[in-house]
């Protein structure tokens, strides 16, 4: 697979990723929120595959947007095409498929960059029938799962993509019980500063744990509002992005909500 990009002085507009469409699910919901003008490499996307499964990703290609836009476009194309291909069969080993998807995304970065470009990436597959998330965290900020008021981390399972030709991430699984929520945040949220102090993952966990929000979009907004209050200014230092997945509680399922 090869990619051709125009020179900076070309009259043609630069390539742009296709806007992500948040899928509709039964008994679960995704949400995502990005603050400010895009200046870095934050990117998220969703791909419905088979049997109620949805692939999702949040990544951060290193460098300013002028340098990594082509890489992000190539990654989205690869994520959608390769993801659909790997999860097309009826008898799927999700862990093997996620690992292979990360390997192909890594190759895409190396080919598009014609070199190295660090790209921390969280890639997962949610099965709406079982509530299980199979994921690989390639050097990304830890994912967070909130269940019964407790928040646990989903730490890195491998190195960032785009650095080595052969460095696959391991795959892990986590079961989201009814009412549980998964939160992904970009590095820009963690690194937001006030008087030299970072907002940090511990504060994100605290806000996530204490919020009464159970809608994925509201969870994302709560996290970004928490960052803004901490910084005492709108967060324009970097891209700031949050993605959330909430599984409906048993009461909502029973009532048909």
Reported confidence tier of residue 219, pLDDT bands at 50, 70, 90:
very high
Check residue 38 and give its pLDDT: 63
Predicted confidence band at 4 (pLDDT cuts at 50, 70, 90)? very low
The stretch 170-181 carries a mean pLDDT of: 97
For 142-169, write each residue's pLDDT tens digit: 999 999 989 999 999 999 999 998 878 9
Tell me: pLDDT of 49 over 90. yes
**DSSP assignment of 227-241, as one string?**
HHHHHTS---SS-EE
Question: What's the average model confidence in pLDDT over 35-56?
Answer: 85
The proportion of the chain whose per-residue pLDDT surpasses 70, expressed as a percent, equals 89
The answer to whether 123 and 105 are in contact (CB under 8 A) is yes
48 membership: H or E segment, kind and range? strand 42-48
Q: What gap in Å lies between CA 252 and CA 27, rounded to an integer?
A: 8
What are the residues facing 147 on neighbouring strands? Answer: 150
Q: What is the pLDDT of residue 119?
A: 95
More confident residue, 80 or 61: 80
Inter-helix orientation angle 65-86/94-113, to 10°: 150
The whole-chain average pLDDT of the chain stands at 89
Give the per-residue pLDDT at 5: 37
Q: Per-residue pLDDT averaged across 50-73, rounded?
A: 88
Query: Residue 65 has what pLDDT?
Result: 74
Query: Tens of pLDDT along 89-129?
Result: 778 999 999 999 999 999 999 998 888 889 999 999 999 99
Confidence class of residue 37 from pLDDT cuts 50, 70 and 90? low
Decide if 179 contacts 250 (C-beta within 8 A): yes
- Give the C-alpha distances (Å, rounded to integers) separating 245 from 25, 69, 97: 11, 26, 21
Res 6: pLDDT: 40
80, with CB counted inside 10 A (0-12, 13-18, 19+), is middle
| pLDDT, position 256 | 54
Residue ranges and CATH numbers for the domains of the chain are: 28-251 (3.60.40.10)
Q: Is the distance from CB of 64 to CB of 39 less than 8 angstroms? A: yes
């Amino acid at each position: 697979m090869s990619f051709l990009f125009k020179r900076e002085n070309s009259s043609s507009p630069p390539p742009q990723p296709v806007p992500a469409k948040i899928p509709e699910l039964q008994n679960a919901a995704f949400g995502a929120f990005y603050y400010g003008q895009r200046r870095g490499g934050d990117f998220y996307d969703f791909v419905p595959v088979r049997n109620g499964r949805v692939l999702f990703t949040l990544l951060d290609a290193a460098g300013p947007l002028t340098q990594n836009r082509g890489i992000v476009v190539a990654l989205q194309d690869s994520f959608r095409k390769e993801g659909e291909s790997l999860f097309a069969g009826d008898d799927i080993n999700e862990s093997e498929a996620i690992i292979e998807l990360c390997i192909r995304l890594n190759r895409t970065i190396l080919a598009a960059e014609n070199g190295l470009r660090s790209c921390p990436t969280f890639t997962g597959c949610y099965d709406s029938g079982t509530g299980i998330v199979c994921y690989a965290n390639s050097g990304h900020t830890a994912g967070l799962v909130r269940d019964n008021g407790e928040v646990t981390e989903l730490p890195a399972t491998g190195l960032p993509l785009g650095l080595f030709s052969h460095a696959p991430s391991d795959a892990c699984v986590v079961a989201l019980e009814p009412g549980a929520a998964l939160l992904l945040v970009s590095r820009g949220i963690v690194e937001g500063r006030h008087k030299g102090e970072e907002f940090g993952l511990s504060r994100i966990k605290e806000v996530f744990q204490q919020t009464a929000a159970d809608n994925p979009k509201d969870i994302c907004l709560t996290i970004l509002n928490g960052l803004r209050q901490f910084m005492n200014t709108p967060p324009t230092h970097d891209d700031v992005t949050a993605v959330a997945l909430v599984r409906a509680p048993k009461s909502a399922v029973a009532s048909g909500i």
